[in-house]
Amino acid sequence: MKMKTEKQGKPTGGGKFNAIPADTYQGRCIGVVDMGLQAGYEGKAVSQIALVFEIYDVLDGDGMPRTVTTWGITKSTNPKANLYKFLSNWLPEGVSTYEYEDWDEKQGKEATLIGLEVDTSLIPGSPAMVTMGLNKKGKVVLASLTAPHKSMTMPEQVHDSYHFDLDEDSPSSFAAIPEWLAKRVNRTGQPPVQDVFEPKKDTIAQDVPF
């Protein structure tokens, strides 16, 4: 899957759950979901993905790791995008760039551009230091992802991993997605008739229960 990320957005509180405080946490990616065409910024239909992390430093009432879900991440081939910045710091071995010919709007002509290629199937199960920060509106958002130090012992994964790619659209892979997230996936290949996400900037929902 070749993809890009344009924007990082504002979070929602995940219903009855309180937002995880801004800080750096031990975590692990447990899910990558191709969301299909969604209503992005100003209602424009864009292809998006969602990333789900379990956070070991913050537990719920059952003693389970809390989860953070980033959705509204726009797929792109632009290495200047946020996704490239996240992954190049976190999983550099899983990210590569390539050159391609296309129209460059800034130059107003055909040009050689640099694209980003990521094998998203390798991401679930990968440990990460997850930094949550505050945006200009004081909302908690994903600020950065980095690889844990080699000397650090990370907790074992608790939740099952899942990966869904619309290019393959495997029924078994789709069935593994938590229901609350699966119902937001647009599998039609067409712009949503009704907004699956509100037409705002990219969104982070925290602690939506599996």
Taking 90 as the threshold, does the pLDDT of residue 192 lie above it? no
Domain assignment present for residue 148? The answer is yes
Domain assignment present for residue 91? The answer is yes
- pLDDT, tens only, 136-163: 888 888 888 999 999 999 999 999 999 9
Domain assignment present for residue 88? The answer is yes
Provide mean pLDDT across the span 23-51.
Answer: 90
% of the chain beyond a pLDDT of 90: 40
**Using CA of residue 95, residue 172, residue 196, residue 135, what is the dihedral sign?**
negative
* Bridge partners of residue 142, in order along the sequence: 132
Domain assignment present for residue 2? The answer is no
**Phi and psi dihedrals of 90, rounded to 5?**
-95, -50
Q: Which domain holds residue 50?
A: 10-206
194 band by pLDDT with thresholds 50, 70 and 90: low
Domain assignment present for residue 3? The answer is no
* Bridge partners of residue 75, in order along the sequence: none
Q: In the chain, how many domains are there? A: 1
- pLDDT, tens only, 73-128: 777 756 677 777 777 889 877 777 778 788 777 778 888 877 777 788 889 999 99
Provide mean pLDDT across the span 16-32.
Answer: 86
Taking 50 as the threshold, does the pLDDT of residue 202 lie above it? no
Domain assignment present for residue 1? The answer is no
Domain assignment present for residue 27? The answer is yes
* Bridge partners of residue 140, in order along the sequence: 134
Domain assignment present for residue 182? The answer is yes
Let me know: does 124 contact 163? Beta carbons within 8 Å: yes
Taking 50 as the threshold, does the pLDDT of residue 64 lie above it? yes
Residue 175 half-sphere exposure toward CB, CA atoms < 13 A: 3
